[in-house]
């Protein structure tokens, strides 16, 4: 009997999905970087995507809010279901969709504007003019991102003068000020020192009450600490998807076992 | 010879070469200013040139230079912005884009006298614009456009790709990301490049000799009707600029004080270009501060 190539745990029927993919494939030119991934993402949970470099996890994540559209020669096939809608279909308003599915990148990328403007910029673009509303959005989102106390006295100073860890939390605040449903995070702590990393992780655990988070990480302790579900990617395939505690204690697939034990990657 | 010694010798050679360059430039600049500044007076700046007697000024030429500069920037800046934004933000990487980019590069290394003769054939003769400010402004546009476009594209390229991702990920459209995120950040670079380009245009002579002409007919500064030929604003009148004036005095000037006028005019030209350069830096820094809240 041939060994199965992958194990994807079915979520219980009661689980509410925030997002799911069906046979999602990503191509760069003629090269297929992600091979037909089908995954569910439960609402108000953190799902971690782990795997060695080049396994396709970041590419997969970036296709969820169609950021791969911006890369010349890339194409994505398959379905991305969000509220009963295939957002990978033609005719979807990508810009509108991205307001619901926010993203935080590997390297902090605050705008070359003040801290205040970084957060209010997009809100104002989408028509919010009331200053009290904007002020409140700044305070709430900075508090949620655990940055408020550090920056409340210099809101009108340049965001790029902040430390790397503070910049990354500002980027998180900027993303959640839009009140997205889903927050995609692409190795958000990989460029940060341990203290900033801990702060960002705390932030994520607090955000879980209101947001569905999908995070790519190279750091397996991080995945184990913060996530509810984990998907292990290898060579463009999702090899295993399960509850995090099972992935790290009793993985079903040999490759997963080798990876979480630190044998490769 | 050990590495340390070799390093010392190399450093010394580089220092000497750099010193020679600075010395040449400083002496040229010093010579022009030293000879020319004593000639500059209010009278010199505000009275018209004289063809046969001494005591002529450069009023019309100075005005023509600025007006021509203004018109040519009015034409070239919007085109350069559009082309630069397209090349940097929208053009896909394919052979058409490469052809455009190579053409721009070739165009930017065209000798200005060639641009002048091209302008003479096309704008002056073919389009029947005659020797006029408009012909001159169009020739200067041909001369300046490639460099400005390049400058805009480079300035936009300096903005990190992650900034565009940040804008798009917040749900801004590509156009909004370009206009609200990328351009503000690139603006200091764009503006200083434009001002430097203005300085280059201001000192240009060869492209203008055959297009804007070598005569400066009397201007009536009370007549602001751009359609009237004696109005300073008329784009259809011939207009000798400062740089062309300097060239003409030196090649065929018969004024008794030709040397003094030439020296004074050269100094004025150099000073204006220097002001443009310092202005570009100052403006760039100021804008950067304002835009980024730094």
Judge whether A21 is closer than 8 Å to chain B, CB to CB. Answer: no
Mean per-residue pLDDT, A172-188: 94
pLDDT at residue B2 is higher than 90: no
Q: How close, in Å, is residue A22 to chain B by CA atoms?
A: 22
Contact B168 A70 (CB under 8 A): yes
Tell me, yes or no, whether A10 lies in a domain: no
Judge whether A196 is closer than 8 Å to chain B, CB to CB. Answer: no
Q: Give the count of domains, chain A.
A: 1
Mean per-residue pLDDT, A250-254: 92
Residue at token pair 């505000």: B46
- Looking at residue A1, its pLDDT comes to 47
Determine the residue of chain B that is closest to A100 in CA distance: B171
Output Rg (C-alpha) for chain B, integer angstroms: 23
Contact B168 A67 (CB under 8 A): yes
Judge whether A114 is closer than 8 Å to chain B, CB to CB. Answer: yes
pLDDT in tens, A66-120: 998 878 788 999 999 999 899 999 899 999 999 999 999 999 999 999 999 999 9
Size of interface A-B (CB pairs under 8 A): 77
Q: How close, in Å, is residue A145 to chain B by CA atoms?
A: 17
pLDDT in tens, B240-263: 999 999 999 998 888 888 899 999
Among the residue ranges A42-46, A168-172, B47-51, B287-291, the one predicted with the least confidence is B287-291
Q: In A, which residues are within 8 Å of B175 by CB distance?
A: none
Give me the domain span that covers residue A88.
Answer: 16-260
pLDDT in tens, A114-162: 999 999 999 998 988 999 999 999 999 999 888 999 999 999 999 989 9
pLDDT at residue B57 is higher than 50: yes
Question: In this structure, how many other beta carbons lie within 10 angstroms of the beta carbon of residue A11?
Answer: 17
**Contact indicator for B249, B8 with CB cutoff of 8 Å:** no
The CATH number of whichever domain residue A211 belongs to comes to 3.40.50.300
Tell me, yes or no, whether A76 lies in a domain: yes
Q: In B, which residues are within 8 Å of A159 by CB distance?
A: 293
pLDDT at residue A3 is higher than 80: no
Structure tokens belonging to residue A46: 């953190």
Checking phi first, is residue A137 left (phi over 0); if not, alpha (psi -120 to 50) or beta?
alpha
- Looking at residue B78, its pLDDT comes to 96
Tell me, yes or no, whether A117 lies in a domain: yes
Judge whether A208 is closer than 8 Å to chain B, CB to CB. Answer: no
Q: In A, which residues are within 8 Å of B173 by CB distance?
A: 95
Contact B173 A65 (CB under 8 A): no
pLDDT at residue B293 is higher than 70: no
- Looking at residue A98, its pLDDT comes to 95
Q: ipTM of the assembly?
A: 0.90
Tell me, yes or no, whether A4 lies in a domain: no
CA A12 vs CA A15, A42, A223, A238: distances in Å: 5, 10, 22, 20
Percentage of residues of chain A with pLDDT beyond 70: 98
pLDDT at residue A7 is higher than 50: yes
pLDDT at residue B294 is higher than 60: no
Mean per-residue pLDDT, A163-172: 92
* Residue A184: closest CA among A209, A159, A146, A211: A211
Tell me, yes or no, whether A133 lies in a domain: yes
Tell me, yes or no, whether A88 lies in a domain: yes
Compare B180 and A196 and report the one with higher pLDDT. B180
Percentage of residues of chain A with pLDDT beyond 90: 71
**Contact indicator for A255, A262 with CB cutoff of 8 Å:** no
Compare B82 and B52 and report the one with higher pLDDT. B82
Determine the residue of chain B that is closest to A178 in CA distance: B170
CA A124 vs CA A119, A175, B108, B123: distances in Å: 9, 14, 41, 47
Helix (H, G, I), strand (E, B) or coil at B190: helix
Judge whether A160 is closer than 8 Å to chain B, CB to CB. Answer: yes
Judge whether B41 is closer than 8 Å to chain A, CB to CB. Answer: no
Domain B42-292 has CATH 3.40.47.10: no
Q: In A, which residues are within 8 Å of B181 by CB distance?
A: 111
Q: How close, in Å, is residue A241 to chain B by CA atoms?
A: 26
* Residue B193: closest CA among B137, B150, B141, B136: B150
Confidence of residue B56 (pLDDT cuts 50, 70, 90): confident
Alpha carbon distance A233, A205 (integer Å): 23
For an interface test with A, give the residue of B171, B182, B188, B291 to mutate (most A CBs within 10 A): B171
Q: Which of B:168-227 have CB within 8 Å of A?
A: 168-173, 176, 180-181, 184-185
């Amino acid at each position: 009997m041939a060994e199965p190539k992958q194990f994807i745990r079915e979520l219980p029927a009661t689980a509410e999905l925030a997002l799911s993919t069906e046979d999602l494939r990503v191509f760069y030119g003629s090269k297929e970087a992600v091979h037909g991934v089908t995954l569910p993402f439960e609402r108000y949970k953190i799902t971690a995507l782990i795997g060695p470099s080049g396994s396709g996890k970041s590419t997969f994540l970036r296709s969820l809010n169609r950021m791969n559209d911006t890369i010349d020669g890339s194409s994505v096939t398959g379905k991305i279901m969000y509220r009963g809608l295939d957002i990978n279909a033609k005719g979807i308003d990508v810009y509108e969709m991205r307001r619901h599915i926010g993203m935080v990148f590997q390297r902090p990328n605050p705008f070359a504007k003040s801290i205040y403007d970084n957060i209010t910029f997009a809100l104002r673009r989408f028509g919010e003019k009331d200053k009290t509303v904007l002020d409140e959005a700044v305070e709430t989102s900075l508090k949620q991102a655990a940055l408020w106390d550090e920056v409340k006295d210099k809101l009108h100073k340049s965001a790029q003068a902040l430390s790397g860890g503070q910049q990354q939390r500002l980027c998180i605040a900027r993303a959640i000020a839009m009140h997205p449903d889903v927050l995609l995070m692409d190795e958000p702590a990989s460029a940060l020192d341990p203290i900033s990393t801990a702060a960002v992780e705390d932030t994520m655990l607090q955000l879980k009450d209101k947001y569905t988070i999908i995070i790519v990480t190279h750091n397996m302790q991080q995945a184990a600490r913060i996530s509810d579900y984990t998907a292990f990617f290898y060579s463009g395939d999702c090899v295993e998807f399960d509850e995090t505690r099972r992935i790290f204690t009793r993985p079903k697939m040999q490759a997963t076992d080798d990876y979480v034990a630190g044998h490769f990657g | 010879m050990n590495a340390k010694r070799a390093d010392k010798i190399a450093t010394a050679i580089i220092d000497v070469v750099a010193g020679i360059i600075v010395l040449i430039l400083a002496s040229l600049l010093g010579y022009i200013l030293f000879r020319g500044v004593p000639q500059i007076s209010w009278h010199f700046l505000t009275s018209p040139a004289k063809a046969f007697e001494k005591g002529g000024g450069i009023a019309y030429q100075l005005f023509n230079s600025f007006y021509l500069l203004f018109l040519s920037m009015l034409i070239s800046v919007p085109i350069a912005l559009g082309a630069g934004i397209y090349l940097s933000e929208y053009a896909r990487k394919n052979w058409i884009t490469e052809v455009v980019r190579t053409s721009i590069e070739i165009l930017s290394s065209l000798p200005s006298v060639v641009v002048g003769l091209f302008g003479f054939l096309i704008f002056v003769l073919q389009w029947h614009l005659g020797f006029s400010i408009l012909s001159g402004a169009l020739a200067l546009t041909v001369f300046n456009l490639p460099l400005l476009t390049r400058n805009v594209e480079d300035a936009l390229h300096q903005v990190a790709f992650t900034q565009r991702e940040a804008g798009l990920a917040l749900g801004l459209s590509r156009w909004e990301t370009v206009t609200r995120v990328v351009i503000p950040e690139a603006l200091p670079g764009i503006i200083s490049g434009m001002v430097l380009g203005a300085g280059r245009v201001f000192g240009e002579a060869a492209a203008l000799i055959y297009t804007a002409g070598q005569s400066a007919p009397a201007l009536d500064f009370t007549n602001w009707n751009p359609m009237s030929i004696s109005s300073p604003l008329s784009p259809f009148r011939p207009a000798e600029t400062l740089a062309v004036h300097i060239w003409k005095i030196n090649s065929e000037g018969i004024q008794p004080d030709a040397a003094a006028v030439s020296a004074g005019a050269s100094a004025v030209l150099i000073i204006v270009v220097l002001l443009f350069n310092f202005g570009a830096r100052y403006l760039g820094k100021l804008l950067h501060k304002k835009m980024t809240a730094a």
